[in-house]
Amino acid sequence: MHNILVVGGAGYIGSHMVKYLGNKDCSITVLDNLSSGHRDAVLAGKLIVGDLANIGFLDKIFSDNKFDVVMHFASSIIVSESVKDPSSYYRNNVSNTLNLLDVMVSHGVKQFIFSSTAAIFGIPLYTPIDEKHPKAPINPYGRSKLMVEQILEDYDHAYGLKSVCLRYFNAAGAVPEGEIGELHDPETHLIPLVLQAASGKRSDITVFGSDYDTQDGTCIRDYIHVNDLCDAHWKAIQYLIKHNQSQSFNLGNGRGFSVQQVIDVCREITGKVIRVIEAGRREGDPDVLVADSTKAREILGWAPEFSDLETIVNHAWQWENNYQRKKLG
């Protein structure tokens, strides 16, 4: 049995990971300050409410428990917000992670799974993007994640702390059962925004740019189902336990879908009218962002199960409907 601490396990990806681990032979402890996570999204294990900024609190958790692996999902993730308030992003994403790593080292816990991002690469020089692509983040969010990856390299060399960094492209979807899903406030991800326009939660969806060098003029992104991300994390745990070596992997479908394709599929799945407002490009948005996940496939034996856009949208729509019904009582 693995004894696993899931930091940020009440958030979007973290809560899906906790549900996934609940179906494995694991003892699960969730640590979350609930600033953006949701208590009722934690479907397995025990929840401890607290903050990584409190080193004494962290030390007590590690004194009271014997963890084999720590999974770290807790971070601030809104790019535009990181530009306006970089201090909070470096404090939460870097300084608080340092607190966690230092307590791990002091208690002899030396296996760590880190939730990273494609934002560490910045504007792509080529696509699909593999692990050898230059790392040149263009915003504090991406820089904060790259800083942690660099810190992990140093902690491996100095303290023997082994880690796997998993760089997501666009996490999307929800568990097929519809129990939990994407619930950010504010919501910034395309698929839930389009589905909220379909459900009437918002009046329209804004498309930023229709003059990209793509087939339909809208930018292309790589959407990876959240359950497939969970499977990659589970395989990363097995890799760490078996090989005790640090690694990093890019996680994506390896195929891109345009903003217009997403809207079209959402219209098809929901059968709803979705009003679109066109606006200019956002600064720093590249034409195409697609992952090369060959390394994860070859080393981890990982392959996406829900790779088609229709399934990803369908699962997200089930969650959106369930959530709206739940709110209405």
pLDDT tens-digit series, residues 121-149: 999 999 999 999 999 999 999 999 999 99
CATH code for the structural domain at 190-221+254-327 = 3.90.25.10
10 Å Cβ neighbour count for 242?
8
Whether 97 shows a pLDDT value over 70: the answer reads: yes
Inter-residue contact 246 to 164 (CB < 8 Å): yes
Cα→Cα distances 122→39, 172, 175, Å: 34, 20, 30
pLDDT grade for 328, boundaries at 50, 70 and 90: low
User: CATH number of 2-172+224-251: 3.20.20.70, 3.40.50.720, 3.40.50.970, 1.10.357.10?
Assistant: 3.40.50.720
Domain layout of the chain by residue ranges: 2-172+224-251, 190-221+254-327
Inter-residue contact 8 to 32 (CB < 8 Å): yes
Average pLDDT over residues 238-252: 97
Cα 10 from chain centroid?
Answer: 13
* Positions marked active-site: 141
CB-neighbour burial class of residue 200 (10 A; exposed 0-12, middle 13-18, buried 19+): exposed
- How far apart CA 253 and CA 170 sit, in angstroms, is 9
For 115-140, b where at least 16 C-beta lie within 10 A, e where not — what string?
bbbbbbbbebeebbbebebebebbbb
What digits encode the pLDDT tens for the residues 185-198?
Answer: 888 899 999 999 99
Inter-residue contact 222 to 170 (CB < 8 Å): yes
End-to-end CA separation in angstroms for the chain: 39
